[in-house]
Structure formats: structure tokens, C-alpha cells
Amino acid sequence: MEWETVIGLEIHAQLATKSKIFSSAATAYGAEPNTQACAIDLGMPGVLPVLNWEAVRMAAMFGLAIGAEVARRSIFARKNYFYPDLPKGYQISQYELPVVQKGQLVIDLEEGVSKVIGVTRAHLEEDAGKSLHEDFHGQSGIDLNRAGTPLLEIVSEPDLRSAKEAVAYMKKLHQLVVYLGICDGNMQEGSFRCDANVSVRPKGDPKFGTRAEIKNLNSFRFVERAIEFEIERQIDLIESGGKVVQETRLYDPDQGETRSMRSKEEANDYRYFPDPDLLPLALDEAFIDVARADLPELPDVKKQRFMEQYGLSAYDAAVLTVSRELAGYYEATVAALGGEPKLCANWVMGDFSAFLNKENREIADSPVNAAQLAGLLRRIQDRTISGKIAKEVFEAMWAGESDADAVIEKRGLRQITDTSAIEKVIDDVIAANPDQLAQYRAGKDKLFGFFVGQVMKLSKGKANPQQVNELLMEKLKG
Amino acid sequence: MHDKTIAQLSASLAAGEFSSEELTRALLERIERFNPQLNAFITLTAESALDQARAADERRQRGEAGPLTGVPIAQKDIFCTDGVRTSCGSRMLDNFIAPYNATVVEKLNAAGAVMLGKTNMDEFAMGSSNETSFYGPVRNPWDLDAVPGGSSGGSAAAVAARLTPGATGTDTGGSIRQPAALCGITGLKPTYGRVSRWGMIAYASSLDQGGPMARTAEDCALLLGAMAGFDPRDSTSVDRPVPDYAAALDPPLAGLKIGLPKEYFGEGLDNAVAQVVEAAIAEYRKLGAETIEISLPNSQLAIPAYYVVAPAECSSNLARFDGVRYGHRCKNPKDLLDLYTRSRGEGFGPEVTRRILVGTFALSAGYYDAYYLKAQQIRRLISDDFRRAFEQVDVIMGPTSPTVAFNLGEKADDPITMYLSDIYTIAVNLAGLPGLSLPVGFIGARPVGLQVIGRYFAEDRLLNIAHRYQQVTDWHARTPAGF
């Protein structure tokens, strides 16, 4: 039988506010345990939550960016359950009326195919703390630094049909929230994590199969592997006469498998009800207008513009708009150079990105800024140096000699374009290789490359390659 | 000097008749002497009280005294007090030293009031007789066999017995007004949102409201003036200026339209109480008021709605008491579930446990619509009843409680009968309106209270109405025998 996979993702994006969603404690990552937890985060008796409007503004920006309805009235609800890292015994979340309702995201699949994925809702909620099971000799420690950190939980429609689509969706969402500046996107620190609802059904069946929820996937690779494993597990189970049960599963990256965590019967009844400590969240037009004004150019729009304005391919435009920083660097380079968008694209996507990746640097920390890169490209453009020499110059610039012209001068890398000088070198090469010359003239055309190589070597790579080709062709004819 | 009201003490302190330190010492001595009988205080803060008193005296010397500077008061043990045990009447918090002050405490401290101690209360404010306290019942100074009412029973008894001229209370379903009535004092539950809930340990967040308890309306006005006001730390507090309540006490009542809901004078109301209340209303007619019979047709739904909403909220509010971070923790927990179940089982008394269970049930999947949602709809109906009534009348009057104080133990095993003790007060909380109880007579030794209900934020009017009555009667000035 042919099977169809149905996947829906719930993504938790940690909002990049300075303070928590219901208290003024800081949200910075990595502080000593419980040093960023105030009385409110600790759930002390008598404390009350006060909403951080910055988190709301960010949620509204997200809603506008995915063409969703930003609810003018939404409700904070309590999700009740007991857990040691949940100080109040409930999480403040949104349940029946979320702040963002019904949006969509277009994902790009292979061969230029794109697909619209529905976003059911996105709601604001607070994160829980962390249980620490090491270093406590059979006991557990609780760190409440993370408790109260604002999260935007983004729930997709069950529109995804493969692990690849799920990853594409997740990447697209990741790109978007980082673009919007509402999430730092750091997956290792848990700023962007995913629960996947996975089910399979016979192809053509309108009914959904029973789903399993895989919790807390914090990398694109894990999402892909976990879903692929889960699809196979469910198909095998059904084909061998079994039944998928609704349950929560955990992905074990070491074993590459998902394992049952709790079944539906064991699932909590969260007893949601509107939080009486918080008024309904009412947003007026002015607030939404501010959020709209804060929206940057969105990735898809930017990509389209890059294709039109710079004549770039869809691929190049996609790579260059992967982040706002890279796109900004590219545009600054083109502007400084005053044109040559393709040359700039090749360098930004090529050597520049390679060096950044190799050293794991952010663009902001790059030793070569856009104006400096443009300075180098100008020397390729005016044929002062060849593309090959330019790589050498770039390396020197990266290492700290930031000005391209200074490097070229200091190292004497200026390209030789003087015809007589090149001819002199060619003559020397021909004179030194009489055997090869004879063979070439006897019809062994392949040796042309040998002569080019010798000329470039003798000129220390500085001879203009195009002139070398032309002059050599003449001379070898005899 | 213990027999003086806050207003009189304020004048005496201003006149230099005695110092706040002398006054505080005198009251601390009275508490030492009478508290063993009454059990009105859980914690005495004698040392810090004397420090505050001396500071108040210095402040007065510098000419910076306000009406409450140097005036001793007591705080209900539901308000967090920095560095002082805040038990909420529960074993769960018997070891809990609050790390911060409630806004109400902060404000009264800033006004120069002297905190004598923390008063006894029903556990987590759940009760109408002060018998659910982990620290034992409070006795009614008018009759030691009788309960003082609840949950602010300690505050009411302490004020009635002249152990303190004023105290704070909280009122979720009648917890200021009913004990005020049963102890013969004046108590005001303000409009929801008038007094900050920050630092007030939550029972039912959408109903809880702190307020003043004192002998006279004038004293309540002075206390409320200090307690009320917008607090950015409480999202449900209302940003609205606080009027000068003490300055609004005097206008005559001629032309006042008093609504008398027929539902508040029907079945279930003790005949003798009805007669005392009617006599008080007759007095108001003499003061120039007009009375009009009105109807609050959904009154009988208030108790069932309350006993869904309040337990539902309490089941969630009290989830934080889990033995993990503070409060009672069971000995040698085997595992996490054992830690939770034994810490909570040992820490909470039976009434709190009952309400947590009821509330958990009411919010459970499949029951939510039938209970919680329905109760919220009823709340709306009850508010509408009041809204319609206030189109016709200025205030509503009736008995605060259907009976005078009952005997200790009389209703302790019968929660439903106990719940009916708040039949006239609960609807006011469901609607979020202000309500005041003032003493209007006795049946035998036991006091009777009259409830006055006003429009939103009409605290000044309620205090004015009570004050005018107290100018022509002396029920509020009587002292229980032996005190």
C-alpha cells in the first residue's frame, strides 16, 4: 500500500525581549542558576503577573509578517499541571483566543516548487524552568532562570507531507523570526525548538491517522531524522497488523529513534481557564500600526527584489537573503563598488562566506567590511589584479591588512598588462621548452595549457591571463 | 486610650496627649492580656511595632505627621510582611517568612501606621467562622462561645475587643463584612480593583479584595484612604484617583434612595435580625432617606456560582504550595508524587482541601462548560441585576448575615449551612461592587450588622451613609463586657 505522511509542527520561538513576559527579571542566557528569577518567577505567595508589552509587539509583528489576523482581543489562560520546574503549578499561556490567528508561510521545495503551509495560530506563553539532574547526588536541582521567558508557540496546519517539507517549513520560520528580530534563533540554547505531530494514512484517505507527538526537537537534523524514523515506525506497525496509539514520544539522537513518553490516557488534563490576574489582551489599531511600521523587508520580498534589481538567479538571491545581515552586506558591497552585482554575489557567497563559516564568525565581526571588499573587487574590475590573485589579497585582508590596494602594492601583486613585458616572458618560456614546442606544433594542442602554466608561473601569477592566452596563441604558431 | 477611635487617637497624638510609643505599649499589653482568650493574633510584632512607633513620634516632631502616623493597626495574616511570618492561617505557611511587603502593608507603613501583629483568619481565607485556621478558632469578644465570623475573624475580634483601633481584612465572599457584622464593628469591602492585591495571598483572584475594618465609618475612611490606589504591580487594579474619603463623610442623607431587595428579607433570614435591620432602616428614613422595594431576581444563584468560581480559582492559585520552594514539606519524600501528595495533604486543612477538590473537578475536561462557564454566565446575570437596581436607587441595604454569630462548632461539620452564612454578601463580590457592614443593634449579647451596597467606586458614599447613622446612634461605640 502507498502511504501518505501528515505532519504538523508546533514551534516554540523564544522572544528576544530583555525582561520576562510577566516580570522584570532579565532573560539573558547562561547566568548562574536562580540568579535571574524574582519573586514572581519563583511563584512566591501573593505575587502577580504584569504583562511585558514588548512581547506582545513582537507577536503582532510575527502575525503581520505571515499575513495572519492579529486578534484585537485575546485571553491569557492558565494551563494547570504539577512539575517541580513550574513554580506556580500552572503555566500562563493562551488557549481559546490566541493573539495570532490564521496565517500562512510559503516554503520552497526543490526544483523551484513552492508550497503554502497554513499557520493555525501563534500564542504567547511563559517558559518553565529547568530541572538539573546532575551534581545533586540522587536529587534534582531546579533552575528558574528560564521560568517566565516569553515564548511564541507557532502551530502549523497538518499541511506538511514529508520530513523534508517539515524541515523546509521550520527553516523558513526560523529565518523569518530572526529577520523580524523577535528571536535570536539559537537552537542550541533552546531559543527555537519544535514538537512534531506525525501520522500516516493510506494515500487518498481523507481521514487523518492517529498521531504521535515527538517533543522537544532542537535541530533541523533531529527534526528530519525523528520524523523519518517515526514515519517508518508507524508504517511498519500498521503493516504488521498493529495500531498507532496517540501518545507523546521523545527522540533519542544517540539511538536515532523515538520512544514512548506517555500515552493519551496518562496525559494531563490541563484544566485551562482564563487567568483572573490578567485582563483580556486588547490591541488597538495604533498598536498594530506601530508593529507594522517595525516590520523589516521580509525574506521573500527581498529575494524577489534581489532577482529583479541585481539580475541574480533565484538560487543566488535565496542564498544572499538567508539573513538580513548577509543581504545587507551584499547590498553595501554593490553600492560601494557602484555595480557588478554578479561579481559581488560571487564573492559574498564564495570566499567571504567560506571564511566566515570556517571561523564561525558573525558578519558584524568580519575583519573585512563591505567597503573594503568592494575595494578589492574594484581592482579585479579594473584589471589591476586577476581573480586568482584577488583570493590571495583577500586572505591577507582577512588576516588584518584590511586595505586591498595596500596589500597589492606591498606584495607587488599588480597584474602585468604591458604587452611587451608579457611577450618577453613568453619568449623565455618558448626558448626554454623546445621539445614541447615541437610537439605542439606537430599537433599536440593539449600542450597549450602547459605553456600558459609556465608563463603564469614565471610571472608569479601576475600576467593578465587573457593577454597571455592571446599572445601565446600567436607566438606558438611561429 | 485603647477605647479611642482612630480619628480620636490621631487627634490625641497630634495634641501630644500621649506618644505613639506609649499608645503602642498600652495596646501590646492589652493584646498580651486578652489574646489568650480570643486567639485573634497569630503573630505579634512588638519590637518592630515599637520601632515604628518611635519613628512615628519622630516624624510627628518633624511636623510630617499624617492622620495615621503613629496609629497602631493589625494586618490580616494574608498580607505579606517583609521579614515576618505570613501564614495565611495555614500549616502550609507556618514556616513562611515573606521576603517582601504587600502593597497594602507598604502603603500603611508609608502612612506611618504601626503594625502590632498579624491577625488570625480562616485558612487561606476559606471559611465563615474562623474555625478553619491552623492556629485554632478565634472567639467573639461579645460572647466567647460564639464565632467571630470569617475569614477576617481575627481582625474583627481584635478591633471589637479594643486590642487595635483598626485592622486590614480581605473579602472574597463576605470575609470583611460578615465578621464585622458578627463582631459589631464597621468593615468595608471596596470595589474590585480599588485596593491592590499585590502581596495579598490569593484565594479567588477575581473576587479577592482587601479593605479596612474599624469601629467607625470615619476610621474606615482614614484607613481606606491610605490603602487604596492604582498599583502597576496588579494588572486588575484600577487607575483612578483616590478621593478624600474622610472629607466626604458629612453630607446629609436627605433624598437618598435606598433599595431594599425583597430577596434579602425573605426565607432564611432570622426574624430577630430582620427586626433589628428594619429598625436601622427606619432610622435612615428619619435621616431623610427614601426606601424602595426592589428585586435582585438572581440572588439565589449567587452561592452556587460562587462555590464554582472561587474553588476553581483557588485550585489553581494554591497549586504553588507544592513543598518544593517554600512552605511545608513532608518528611523523607519517597519520590516526586509522594512529595506533592504528602506535603499538600499535611499542609492543607479539610476545608481548603475540599475547595481545591471541588475546583479541580469544576475545571476538568468535560465539566468546564457545565460548571465554570455556567457560573461565569450567572455572574453576568447577577451584575445585571445590580445594574438595573442602581438605575432606580442610590444604594441597596439589607442584613449582612442572616443570623447573629453562631456558636463555635455549631456549623463546623456542615459546610452547606456554613456557606449560607454569606448569602447576602457573596453576590457583591461576584459583581465586584463595594459593600459595607455597620453595627445596628444586638440580639442578646450578639451584634447585628447592616449591609450597604453601592455603585462601582462609591466607597465615599457608603462611608458617608454609615457615618451619618453613627452620628445619631451608639451601637458602634459599645464595648464588649470584660474588654
User: Helices A434-441 and A447-458: crossing angle, nearest 10°?
Assistant: 150
- First vs last Cα of chain B: how many Å apart? 13
Q: How far apart are CA B21 and CA B70, in angstroms?
A: 8
**Closest partner residue to A78 among B232, B316, B324, by Cβ?**
B316
Q: How far apart are CA B179 and CA B202, in angstroms?
A: 19
Report helix, strand or coil for A169.
helix
Chain-chain contact of A46 with B200 (C-beta, under 8 angstroms): yes
Sign, CA torsion B430/B435/B440/B441: positive
Q: B114 with B74: CB under 8 angstroms?
A: no
The series of mean pLDDT values per 10 residues for chain A, 478 residues long, is 95 97 94 94 97 98 97 97 96 97 93 91 97 82 96 98 96 97 95 96 94 93 96 96 93 91 79 97 96 95 96 95 96 95 96 93 93 94 86 92 85 81 88 88 87 88 85 83
Cis link prior to B151 (omega < 30° from 0)? yes
Chain-chain contact of A273 with B336 (C-beta, under 8 angstroms): no
Contacts of B233 in chain A (CB under 8 A): 48, 50
Beta strands per DSSP E along B107-224: 114-119, 166-171, 186-189, 209-214
Chain-chain contact of A276 with B336 (C-beta, under 8 angstroms): no
Nearest-5° Cα angle at A279, A277 to A280? 135
Chain-chain contact of B235 with A84 (C-beta, under 8 angstroms): no
Q: What is the pLDDT of residues B238-268, one digit of tens each?
A: 999 999 999 999 999 999 999 999 999 988 8
Q: How far apart are CA B175 and CA A289, in angstroms?
A: 46
Residue B340 Cα, gap to closest chain A Cα (Å): 9
**Average of per-residue pLDDT across B320-343:** 96
Q: How far apart are CA B276 and CA B270, in angstroms?
A: 10
Burial of A81 (0-12, 13-18, 19+ CB in 10 A): middle
Burial of B415 (0-12, 13-18, 19+ CB in 10 A): middle
If you ran DSSP here, which 8-state letter would residue A144 be given? -
Tell me how crowded residue A424 is: count the other CB atoms within 10 A of its CB.
14
Q: Locate the chain B residue with the closest alpha carbon to A24.
A: B233
Q: A96 with A124: CB under 8 angstroms?
A: no
- The mean-pLDDT minimum among A452-466, B17-31, B73-87, B420-434 falls in A452-466
Q: What is the pLDDT of residues B42-89, one digit of tens each?
A: 999 999 999 999 999 999 999 999 999 999 999 999 999 999 999 999
Candidates B172, B154, B42, B124; CA nearest to B349 is: B124
If you ran DSSP here, which 8-state letter would residue B81 be given? B
Q: How far apart are CA A444 and CA A271, in angstroms?
A: 85
Q: Which long-range contacts (CB under 8 A, 24 or more apart) does B15-23 make?
A: B19/B53, B19/B57, B19/B70, B20/B53, B20/B54, B20/B56, B20/B57, B20/B60, B20/B69, B20/B70, B20/B71, B20/B72, B20/B114, B21/B50, B21/B53, B21/B54, B21/B57, B23/B53, B23/B70, B23/B72
Output the pLDDT for position B411. Answer: 87
Chain-chain contact of B235 with A278 (C-beta, under 8 angstroms): yes
Output the pLDDT for position A417. Answer: 80
What rounded mean pLDDT belongs to chain B?
97
Q: Look up residue A305 and give its three cell numbers.
A: 527584489
**Closest partner residue to B235 among A89, A90, A277, by Cβ?**
A277
Q: Look up residue B427 and give its three cell numbers.
A: 453576590
If you ran DSSP here, which 8-state letter would residue A348 be given? I
Q: Locate the chain A residue with the closest alpha carbon to B92.
A: A45
Chain-chain contact of A271 with B364 (C-beta, under 8 angstroms): yes
Rg, chain A, Cα only: 30
Q: What is the pLDDT of residues B438-468, one digit of tens each?
A: 999 999 999 999 999 999 999 999 999 999 9
Sign, CA torsion B220/B221/B222/B227: positive
Contacts of A136 in chain B (CB under 8 A): none
ipTM of the modeled complex: 0.96
Q: Locate the chain A residue with the closest alpha carbon to B124.
A: A45
**Closest partner residue to A90 among B199, B319, B326, by Cβ?**
B319
What residues contact A373, with CB distance under 8 A and at least 6 apart?
A333, A336, A344, A347, A348, A352, A394
What residues contact A472, with CB distance under 8 A and at least 6 apart?
A426, A448, A451, A452, A455
**Average of per-residue pLDDT across B208-226:** 98
Q: Look up residue A143 and give its three cell numbers.
A: 533552575
Please report, as a single letter, which amino acid is at residue A388: K
Helices and strands per DSSP (H, E), number in chain B: 15, 11
What residues contact A41, with CB distance under 8 A and at least 6 apart?
A20, A23, A25, A87, A129, A144, A147, A148
**How many residues are present in chain A?**
478
Chain-chain contact of B363 with A88 (C-beta, under 8 angstroms): no
Q: Per DSSP, what are the bridge partners of residue B187?
A: B213, B437
Candidates B158, B269, B186, B264; CA nearest to B469 is: B186
Say if residue B376's pLDDT is above 90: yes
What residues contact A477, with CB distance under 8 A and at least 6 apart?
none
Report helix, strand or coil for A402.
coil
CA distances from A266 to A69, A86, A128 (A): 35, 19, 21
Q: B183 with B120: CB under 8 angstroms?
A: no
Contacts of A48 in chain B (CB under 8 A): 197-198, 233-235
Q: How far apart are CA A365 and CA A378, in angstroms?
A: 23
User: What confidence category does residue B130 fall into, taking pLDDT thresholds of 50, 70 and 90?
Assistant: very high
Please report, as a single letter, which amino acid is at residue A63: G
**Average of per-residue pLDDT across B30-53:** 98
Output the pLDDT for position A239. Answer: 94
Residue B240 Cα, gap to closest chain A Cα (Å): 16
Tell me how crowded residue B431 is: count the other CB atoms within 10 A of its CB.
23
Q: Which residues of B carry out catalysis?
A: 76, 151, 175
Contacts of A49 in chain B (CB under 8 A): 235
Say if residue B314's pLDDT is above 80: yes
Chain-chain contact of B236 with A279 (C-beta, under 8 angstroms): yes
Please report, as a single letter, which amino acid is at residue A296: P
Q: Locate the chain B residue with the closest alpha carbon to A91.
A: B316
Q: How far apart are CA A123 and CA A121, in angstroms?
A: 7
Q: Which helix (H) or strand (E) holds A126?
A: strand A114-126
